[in-house]
Amino acid sequence: MKEVLKLLIVLTCVCMIAALCLSFVNDATKEARAYQDRLELLNALNMVLPGHDNEPDKDMLDLMGYTYYLSKSGGNINGVAFITESDKGYSGLIKVIVGVEPDGKIVAIGILEQKETPGLGSKIAQDWFKDQYAQKTLDNAKWAVKKDGGDFDQISGATISPRAVTAAVKQGLEKFATDRASILGGNDVVQ
Protein backbone atom coordinates (compact mmCIF):
# COMPACT_ATOMS: atom_id res chain seq x y z
CA MET A 1 0.00 0.00 0.00
CA LYS A 2 2.88 2.32 0.84
CA GLU A 3 4.44 1.77 -2.59
CA VAL A 4 1.16 2.48 -4.36
CA LEU A 5 0.81 5.73 -2.45
CA LYS A 6 4.40 6.65 -3.30
CA LEU A 7 3.83 5.94 -7.02
CA LEU A 8 0.62 7.94 -6.93
CA ILE A 9 2.40 10.97 -5.47
CA VAL A 10 5.24 10.72 -8.02
CA LEU A 11 2.79 10.34 -10.92
CA THR A 12 0.74 13.31 -9.68
CA CYS A 13 3.88 15.47 -9.47
CA VAL A 14 4.99 14.47 -12.97
CA CYS A 15 1.54 15.26 -14.37
CA MET A 16 1.46 18.65 -12.66
CA ILE A 17 4.92 19.56 -13.97
CA ALA A 18 3.94 18.45 -17.50
CA ALA A 19 0.73 20.48 -17.34
CA LEU A 20 2.60 23.59 -16.17
CA CYS A 21 5.17 23.17 -18.96
CA LEU A 22 2.45 22.77 -21.60
CA SER A 23 0.62 25.81 -20.26
CA PHE A 24 3.82 27.88 -20.37
CA VAL A 25 4.64 26.79 -23.94
CA ASN A 26 1.07 27.53 -25.04
CA ASP A 27 1.20 31.05 -23.58
CA ALA A 28 4.70 31.69 -24.91
CA THR A 29 3.79 30.73 -28.50
CA LYS A 30 0.26 32.18 -28.69
CA GLU A 31 1.29 35.37 -30.51
CA ALA A 32 3.60 33.53 -32.93
CA ARG A 33 0.85 31.04 -33.79
CA ALA A 34 -1.68 33.85 -34.31
CA TYR A 35 0.79 35.65 -36.60
CA GLN A 36 1.38 32.48 -38.65
CA ASP A 37 -2.38 31.85 -38.89
CA ARG A 38 -2.87 35.40 -40.18
CA LEU A 39 -0.10 34.98 -42.77
CA GLU A 40 -1.67 31.73 -43.94
CA LEU A 41 -5.09 33.40 -44.29
CA LEU A 42 -3.61 36.42 -46.09
CA ASN A 43 -1.77 34.13 -48.50
CA ALA A 44 -5.01 32.29 -49.28
CA LEU A 45 -6.93 35.56 -49.70
CA ASN A 46 -4.25 37.00 -52.01
CA MET A 47 -4.44 33.81 -54.08
CA VAL A 48 -8.21 34.05 -54.72
CA LEU A 49 -8.99 37.79 -54.71
CA PRO A 50 -8.38 40.34 -57.46
CA GLY A 51 -5.66 42.96 -56.92
CA HIS A 52 -6.38 45.03 -53.83
CA ASP A 53 -4.85 47.74 -51.68
CA ASN A 54 -6.47 46.84 -48.35
CA GLU A 55 -5.99 44.08 -45.79
CA PRO A 56 -8.96 41.80 -46.53
CA ASP A 57 -8.48 39.78 -43.34
CA LYS A 58 -9.19 42.96 -41.37
CA ASP A 59 -11.88 44.25 -43.73
CA MET A 60 -14.44 41.53 -43.21
CA LEU A 61 -18.14 41.14 -42.63
CA ASP A 62 -19.83 38.47 -40.53
CA LEU A 63 -23.40 37.59 -41.50
CA MET A 64 -25.02 34.99 -39.27
CA GLY A 65 -21.78 33.12 -38.65
CA TYR A 66 -20.58 33.27 -42.28
CA THR A 67 -17.51 35.44 -42.81
CA TYR A 68 -16.88 37.43 -45.99
CA TYR A 69 -13.49 39.03 -46.65
CA LEU A 70 -13.72 42.21 -48.72
CA SER A 71 -11.15 43.12 -51.33
CA LYS A 72 -10.92 46.83 -52.10
CA SER A 73 -9.10 48.87 -54.68
CA GLY A 74 -9.14 52.63 -54.19
CA GLY A 75 -11.70 52.21 -51.43
CA ASN A 76 -14.16 50.38 -53.68
CA ILE A 77 -15.07 46.70 -53.28
CA ASN A 78 -13.69 44.72 -56.21
CA GLY A 79 -13.97 41.22 -54.76
CA VAL A 80 -15.22 39.07 -51.91
CA ALA A 81 -13.76 35.87 -50.50
CA PHE A 82 -15.38 33.29 -48.27
CA ILE A 83 -14.61 29.86 -46.91
CA THR A 84 -16.96 27.00 -47.65
CA GLU A 85 -16.69 23.31 -46.91
CA SER A 86 -18.04 19.86 -47.58
CA ASP A 87 -17.83 16.80 -45.38
CA LYS A 88 -18.54 14.58 -48.39
CA GLY A 89 -14.89 14.08 -49.35
CA TYR A 90 -13.57 10.53 -49.50
CA SER A 91 -11.64 11.09 -46.29
CA GLY A 92 -13.97 13.66 -44.75
CA LEU A 93 -13.88 17.43 -44.56
CA ILE A 94 -12.66 19.57 -47.47
CA LYS A 95 -12.35 23.34 -46.88
CA VAL A 96 -12.33 25.61 -49.91
CA ILE A 97 -11.70 29.35 -50.11
CA VAL A 98 -13.50 31.07 -52.97
CA GLY A 99 -12.83 34.54 -54.36
CA VAL A 100 -15.55 36.20 -56.42
CA GLU A 101 -16.08 39.47 -58.19
CA PRO A 102 -19.01 41.57 -56.93
CA ASP A 103 -21.26 40.06 -59.62
CA GLY A 104 -20.58 36.53 -58.34
CA LYS A 105 -18.08 35.43 -60.99
CA ILE A 106 -15.33 33.28 -59.50
CA VAL A 107 -11.83 34.77 -59.57
CA ALA A 108 -10.16 31.66 -58.15
CA ILE A 109 -10.54 28.93 -55.56
CA GLY A 110 -8.05 27.39 -53.18
CA ILE A 111 -8.08 24.23 -51.10
CA LEU A 112 -7.41 25.12 -47.46
CA GLU A 113 -7.83 21.71 -45.90
CA GLN A 114 -8.21 18.17 -47.21
CA LYS A 115 -7.20 14.68 -46.17
CA GLU A 116 -7.86 12.93 -49.44
CA THR A 117 -5.85 9.98 -50.71
CA PRO A 118 -2.37 11.09 -51.84
CA GLY A 119 -1.98 10.79 -55.61
CA LEU A 120 -5.74 10.45 -56.16
CA GLY A 121 -8.20 12.70 -54.35
CA SER A 122 -5.43 15.03 -53.25
CA LYS A 123 -5.19 16.19 -56.88
CA ILE A 124 -8.01 18.61 -56.04
CA ALA A 125 -5.28 20.92 -54.76
CA GLN A 126 -3.48 21.01 -58.12
CA ASP A 127 -3.75 24.13 -60.27
CA TRP A 128 -5.27 22.38 -63.31
CA PHE A 129 -8.19 21.23 -61.16
CA LYS A 130 -8.75 24.54 -59.33
CA ASP A 131 -8.42 26.62 -62.52
CA GLN A 132 -11.55 25.08 -64.07
CA TYR A 133 -13.72 27.04 -61.61
CA ALA A 134 -12.39 30.46 -62.68
CA GLN A 135 -14.95 32.71 -64.41
CA LYS A 136 -17.83 30.40 -63.43
CA THR A 137 -21.06 31.69 -61.90
CA LEU A 138 -24.19 29.99 -60.66
CA ASP A 139 -25.78 30.72 -64.04
CA ASN A 140 -23.05 29.83 -66.56
CA ALA A 141 -22.16 26.33 -65.35
CA LYS A 142 -23.77 23.00 -64.57
CA TRP A 143 -22.61 22.47 -60.99
CA ALA A 144 -21.66 18.81 -61.12
CA VAL A 145 -18.72 16.75 -62.35
CA LYS A 146 -18.82 15.58 -65.98
CA LYS A 147 -19.57 12.02 -64.89
CA ASP A 148 -22.83 13.36 -63.40
CA GLY A 149 -23.66 15.54 -66.43
CA GLY A 150 -21.94 18.71 -65.19
CA ASP A 151 -19.15 20.96 -66.43
CA PHE A 152 -16.32 20.06 -64.07
CA ASP A 153 -13.61 17.47 -64.62
CA GLN A 154 -13.42 14.64 -62.19
CA ILE A 155 -10.24 12.82 -61.30
CA SER A 156 -9.97 9.31 -62.67
CA GLY A 157 -10.34 6.92 -59.76
CA ALA A 158 -11.31 9.70 -57.36
CA THR A 159 -14.67 11.18 -58.33
CA ILE A 160 -15.83 11.69 -54.74
CA SER A 161 -13.31 14.45 -53.98
CA PRO A 162 -14.15 16.61 -57.05
CA ARG A 163 -17.86 16.14 -56.30
CA ALA A 164 -17.28 17.44 -52.77
CA VAL A 165 -15.31 20.48 -54.00
CA THR A 166 -17.91 21.30 -56.65
CA ALA A 167 -20.73 20.99 -54.11
CA ALA A 168 -18.86 23.17 -51.60
CA VAL A 169 -18.16 25.90 -54.18
CA LYS A 170 -21.77 25.86 -55.40
CA GLN A 171 -23.06 26.05 -51.82
CA GLY A 172 -20.77 29.00 -51.12
CA LEU A 173 -21.90 30.81 -54.28
CA GLU A 174 -25.54 30.29 -53.34
CA LYS A 175 -24.89 31.71 -49.87
CA PHE A 176 -23.03 34.67 -51.42
CA ALA A 177 -25.95 35.29 -53.81
CA THR A 178 -28.32 35.34 -50.84
CA ASP A 179 -26.10 37.71 -48.83
CA ARG A 180 -24.85 39.80 -51.78
CA ALA A 181 -27.11 42.81 -51.14
CA SER A 182 -26.10 42.90 -47.46
CA ILE A 183 -22.41 42.59 -48.32
CA LEU A 184 -22.30 45.13 -51.13
CA GLY A 185 -25.30 47.32 -50.35
CA GLY A 186 -24.40 50.90 -49.49
CA ASN A 187 -20.75 50.42 -50.48
CA ASP A 188 -19.07 51.53 -53.66
CA VAL A 189 -18.44 48.58 -55.89
CA VAL A 190 -16.07 48.22 -58.82
CA GLN A 191 -17.52 45.98 -61.55
Query: Is the pLDDT reported for residue 7 higher than 80?
Result: yes
Mean pLDDT of the chain: 87
User: Is residue 28 scored above 90 in pLDDT?
Assistant: no
Asked whether residue 191 carries a pLDDT value surpassing 50, the answer given is: no
Q: What is the pLDDT of residues 146-179, one digit of tens each?
A: 888 888 888 877 788 888 999 999 999 999 998 9
- Break the chain into its structural domains and give their ranges: 48-184
Pick the most confident of 87-91, 104-108, 185-189: 104-108
| H helix or E strand, kind and range, residue 109 | strand 106-113
pLDDT at 1: 79
For the question of whether the overall pTM of this predicted structure is more than 0.85, the answer is: no
Q: What mean pLDDT do residues 3-22 have?
A: 91
pLDDT at 190 over 70: no
Long-range contact list for 67-74, CB < 8 A, 24+ apart? 68/176, 68/179, 68/183, 69/45, 70/183, 71/45, 71/99, 73/190, 74/190
Enumerate helices (H) and strands (E) in the chain, giving the number of each: 3, 5
Q: b/e map of 96-122 (b: 16 or more CB within 10 Å)?
A: bbbbbbbebbbbbbbbbebebbeebbb
111 - beta bridge partners? 96
